[in-house]
Each structure stands twice: as C-alpha cells, then as structure tokens.
Amino acid sequence: MYIDWTDDLSVGVAEIDQQHKRFLVIINDLYEALENKNEKIVLGDIISQLASYAMFHFMTEEKYMDEFKYEGVEIHKKEHERLRDKISEFGENYTDNPEKHAQELLHFLKDYLADHLITMDQKYVKCFKEHGLQ
C-alpha cells in the first residue's frame, strides 16, 4: 500500500471521510499498477475513475459549503478546479509515455491529497460540524 488512511486525514464527517478513503484506494491502485508494471493497461481507467470520482466528491463538499455559507468556499473551489484540470491534463497526455505519466500522477496525487486533506479540508471542519454534519 502506498498511502494508508490515518486520523490526521479525517475531517470527522463520515460521508466525506468515506469519499476521501475512496481516493486513497484509487491512488493505491495506481501504485500497485506501477509495482506490477501494468500501468500501460490500467492508467487510462485509473485516470477516468479519478476524474469521475473527483467530480462526485467535489460536488458533495461544495454542496455543503454553499448550503452552510462557508467563508472559504471560493478558494476551496479553485483548488478543486486545479485538481480537475491536472487530472484532465494527465488524461490527455498519458499515452505517449504511460510509465512516466503514471509516476508523475502518483506523486502529484500523494502531494496534492496530503496537502488538501490536511490543510484545505480541515478549514471547513468547524463550519460543517456547527451545521450538524458528523
């Protein structure tokens, strides 16, 4: 396993934590593909999963941010957009060198998600909890 779920990644909202855990499964699938040297076979599928799941997850977070009038919503949405753009970029370019792009995607996702979950998402925890999400 490349990334394990730890308590510092939790936002304490079960629905969102479950979605974050799904991202870790996708990242770990990518890592496993690289370890087994079959990234050429699965990279397109992993990028597709990542793109669709990111859309689903971001809609969930942004729905609550809008509903609860979270003050950092615009900055947070821009971060979500940055990830969507990066996934799209990987989707457009991965076929020319799948191993290289798989490695780059893996490192990008690890850095992005660690930073996003530990830094950005922790900022909305108080707001979400004040509105009854658990």
Residues 6+ apart with CB under 8 A from 84: 51, 54, 55, 58
Q: What's the angle, vertex CA 69, arms to CA 112 and CA 23, rounded to 5?
A: 25
Architecture in CATH of 7-130 = Up-down Bundle (1.20)
Q: Domain segments of the chain: what residues? A: 7-130
> What integer pLDDT is reported at residue 63 of this predicted model?
98
Sequential pLDDT tens for the chain (134 residues): 899 999 989 999 999 999 999 999 999 999 999 999 998 899 999 999 999 999 999 999 999 999 999 999 999 999 999 999 999 999 998 888 899 999 999 999 999 887 888 899 999 999 999 999 99
Burial 34-64 (b: 16+ CB within 10 A, else e): beeeebeebbeebbebbbebbeebbeebeeb
**What pLDDT is recorded for position 117?**
86
**pLDDT value of position 1:** 81
Q: What local confidence, expressed as pLDDT, does residue 133 receive? A: 95
Q: What is the reported pLDDT for 127? A: 97
